[in-house]
Amino acid sequence: MNTRKLMSTALLAVGGAVLSASLYAADTIKVGVLHSLSGTMAISETTLKDTVLMMIEDQNKKGGLLGKKLEPVVVDPASNWPLFAEKTRELLSQEEVDVIFGCWTSVSRKSVLPVIEELNGLLFYPVQYEGEESSKNVFYTGAAPNQQAIPAVDYLMNELDVKRWVLAGTDYVYPRTTNKVLEAYLKAKGVADKDIMINYTPFGHSDWQSIVADVKKFGSEGKKTAVVSTINGDANVPFYKELGNQGISAEDIPVVAFSVGEEELSGIDTKPLVGHLAAWNYFQSVESDENDEFIAKWKKYIKDDKRVTNDPMEATYIGFNMWVAAVEKAGTTDVDAVEQAMIGITTPNLTGGTAVMNRNHHLSKPVLIGEIQADGQFEVVSETMGVVPGDAWSDYLPGSKDIVADWVTPIRCGNFNAKTAKCSGQNM
């Protein structure tokens, strides 16, 4: 065989390999999984990675999606906020994923946002957050402040007669913005400045002795006091331990947490914490056929009967099922087509009701207040009569009360000023 024929044969072989790889890639729908598997947030986020993988496996058993298998692409941003942006670019540009499920903290989401908008990706964000945002490229399946923080304060104020407030959070955008909303809300309810104490600590904070002592002193002045906690990640473990060490019970100073669920409590002795509270849209203890089925499926998948479920898992479950329904409705994984198909999609939640995706890319969800039990589960002590639509922009912040998000034509804007009828944010 002469040299020219050898080269032709080699080129045909290479071309065939490339074509085969291309055909193989076209036969799968890639799903990006962007959760910290190491670092301070791994305590919370690893479970969400496993939840997405379980949902992918389950969907593939049903025949996949659009006649194709779902292929997970897992990356570890390692609780490093700039790395979230890098990993997002990698998922979209190199791996060419069709959708991303990921992030926990708002600082990680804020890091991802410009990349996912630039490259026109699609992110499902499954954790409660501070609001003040609505992007065409993000669906927010966790709670907005009016679906968690405001109802929690109302419960403490109306049911427990709380008069003094400690707003304790990790030092980043979610706690700071949420506490701005809560401070404005409390003052609108007549709470004086002297009756509001605000404290922030860094991620992974471990020495809580002096801070808890300050909280104890603040609560010793004759008015019923509560802690509203936006402390995130593994800092919760020493925080709750120090409450027990200093003898602060739920009867003395109740704590209502927005980032502590069953997963976080599974790592500590919960007996001294009995009676403290959390506000979520789901608890494992909720009785419904859908929840029983989900819990059984989770324990079988994870091969551990002691593993628990929690609210961000339900938000992941809802988001994944809605994405599948929207892709089927659109007949494609094209981001623009799926984004429009998502609006109005409904799917069963795990509390026995129905989740609805609204025009602002936020869900309608029930709001539950749960009380910590000795076994690390929650007893529901308060629940809204129906679902509450998520509000992307707070009614209690001066710069936000006139802003609405609406991703349906003709507005198609996440930052639309209802007074001026102008869009000052991203629109398409």
Q: What is the mean pLDDT of residues 131-142?
A: 97
Local confidence band at 10 (pLDDT 50, 70, 90 cut-offs): very low
For residues 390 and 363, is the Cβ–Cβ distance under 8 A?
yes
Taking the complete model, does pTM exceed 0.75, yes or no?
yes
pLDDT in tens, 205-217: 999 999 999 999 9
Note the pLDDT of residue 385: 87
Residue 270 zone, left/alpha/beta (φ > 0; ψ -120 to 50; rest): alpha
Specify the higher pLDDT residue, 288 or 19: 288
Note the pLDDT of residue 171: 96
pLDDT in tens, 145-198: 999 999 999 999 999 999 999 999 999 999 999 999 999 999 999 999 999 999
Q: How far apart are CA 21 and CA 24, in angstroms?
A: 5
Local confidence band at 18 (pLDDT 50, 70, 90 cut-offs): very low
For residues 224 and 254, is the Cβ–Cβ distance under 8 A?
no
Q: What is the mean pLDDT of residues 40-51?
A: 94
For residues 326 and 342, is the Cβ–Cβ distance under 8 A?
yes
Note the pLDDT of residue 426: 61
Q: How far apart are CA 10 and CA 382, in angstroms?
A: 70
Note the pLDDT of residue 5: 45
Residue 87 zone, left/alpha/beta (φ > 0; ψ -120 to 50; rest): alpha
Q: How far apart are CA 296 and CA 313, in angstroms?
A: 14
Q: How far apart are CA 351 and CA 357, in angstroms?
A: 16
pLDDT in tens, 259-277: 889 988 887 788 878 999 9
* pLDDT higher than 70, residue 311: yes
* pLDDT higher than 80, residue 2: no
Angle at 413 between CA 408 and CA 414, to 5 degrees: 110
Tokens, residue 157: 């104020």
Local confidence band at 4 (pLDDT 50, 70, 90 cut-offs): very low
Tokens, residue 362: 């936020």
Q: What is the mean pLDDT of residues 93-117?
A: 97
CA Rg value for the chain: 23
* DSSP structure class, residue 92: I
Local confidence band at 367 (pLDDT 50, 70, 90 cut-offs): very high
* pLDDT higher than 90, residue 93: yes
For residues 315 and 294, is the Cβ–Cβ distance under 8 A?
no
pLDDT in tens, 313-339: 999 999 999 999 999 999 999 999 999
* DSSP structure class, residue 140: E
Note the pLDDT of residue 26: 67
Residue bearing tokens 């404290």: 199
pLDDT in tens, 217-244: 999 999 999 999 999 888 888 998 899 8
Local confidence band at 7 (pLDDT 50, 70, 90 cut-offs): very low
Please give the domain boundaries of the chain with CATH numbers for all domains: 30-143+293-366 (3.40.50.2300), 146-287+369-389 (3.40.50.2300)
Residue bearing tokens 């789901």: 282
Percent of the chain with pLDDT over 90: 85
Q: How far apart are CA 17 and CA 255, in angstroms?
A: 60
Q: What is the mean pLDDT of residues 71-81?
A: 97
Beta strands in 127-224 (DSSP E): 138-140, 164-170, 196-201
* pLDDT higher than 80, residue 25: no
- Cα dist from 296 to 126, 284, 305, whole Å: 21, 11, 9
* pLDDT higher than 50, residue 22: no
Strand order in the sheet with 354-357: 346-348, 354-357, 363-365, 388-389
**End-to-end CA distance of the chain, in Å?**
58
Task: Specify the DSSP element, H or E, that contains 109.
Answer: helix 106-118
